[in-house]
Amino acid sequence: MLLSGEGGELSKTFLYIDNRVLDGEIVAVIGDDPDVEGIRKAAERGIRTLIVDPSGIIDTAAFSRDINDILDKLNPDAVVLDGFARSVRLRERQDRYITDRAETLLEIAATD
């Protein structure tokens, strides 16, 4: 999950997993600011948090490359863009869904 703020979609995903509506796990939360609420929520649950500091990155292509490299290493089935404020271009892959809504995870799970 990529986020820049309080983590509204992250909270919804927690509810879906906690209530067993969604059988899955959040492998990591990636943010661009270590002090946002969403990062705190993830850390409290023991979820791996990664911060990509955009201050030293000169352009969108470089920032996107850094994010995509992290995602390739994590290899998640889905990526949720939870209000991610930075401009990023995610690599399209046939084995990975990209969405901005936690509800889409339920739709994906129903088709698998």
User: Residues of the chain with pLDDT > 70: what percent?
Assistant: 98
pTM: 0.87
Q: Which two tokens stand for residue 34?
A: 């270590």
Please give the Cα distance from 48 to 45 (Å, whole number): 9
SS3 11: helix
* Region 6-34 average pLDDT: 93
Superfamily of domain 2-111: Formyl transferase, N-terminal domain (3.40.50.170)
Q: Which two tokens stand for residue 14?
A: 């927690």
Residue ranges covered by each domain of the chain: 2-111
Are residues 86 and 8 in contact, defined by beta-carbon separation less than 8 angstroms?
Answer: no
The β-bridge relationship of strands 29-31 and 2-3 is parallel
pLDDT computed for residue 58 by the predictor: 75
pLDDT tens string 64-99: 998 999 999 999 999 999 888 678 889 888 888 888
